[in-house]
Amino acid sequence: MYRKWSNWLGSAWGDLVEGRRVIVPRSLPHPGRIGFERTSLAEDVGQIADWSMPVKDGSRLHVHEFRNMVLVIHRDTLNPDEGLLPAIGHFILDTDLGKVVTLVGGIFLVGWALSKK
């Protein structure tokens, strides 16, 4: 079972590293059957469940499971399960909300700095 996933991930790895979301083929076993763990903290994109697996490079694979049985996988640059700093980094780098918060915070800081001159 794991070998099927491993072979498929090898072919999809370039897309995952580039930040793309990839539909998992239905022929692969459910991620919960090959070592992915259920995770409850995830950005809502309409999924009914989330599954994750750490990667040796400090990232993690994250699968969204949808009601229609479609599985979509992406690679989180940082694994938020590794501690506070990776969790903050993950929020900033890998989530849409984190990117918005960072942008708004940056604009606020620039405005504040300019007002002090």
Percent of the chain with pLDDT strictly greater than 90: 52
Report pLDDT for 88. 83
What's the rounded Cα separation, in Å, for the pair 25 and 43? 23
Cβ-in-10-Å burial (0-12, 13-18, 19+) of 76 comes to: buried
Report pLDDT for 107. 83
Average pLDDT over residues 4-12: 93
Residues forming a β-bridge with 74: 62
Closest CA to 93 of 66, 62, 65: 62
Whether the model pTM is above 0.85: no
What's the rounded Cα separation, in Å, for the pair 116 and 63? 46
Beta strands in 18-113 (DSSP E): 22-23, 37-39, 49-54, 60-65, 71-76
Report pLDDT for 95. 73
Q: Which residue would you say has higher pLDDT here, 33 or 91?
A: 33
User: What total of structural domains would you count in the chain?
Assistant: 1
What's the rounded Cα separation, in Å, for the pair 43 and 94? 10
Instruction: Note the pLDDT tens digit of each residue in 63-113.
Output: 999 999 999 999 998 888 887 887 787 778 777 777 787 778 778 878 777
Report pLDDT for 70. 96
Whether pLDDT at 1 is above 70: no
Q: Which domain holds residue 80?
A: 2-115
Report pLDDT for 29. 94
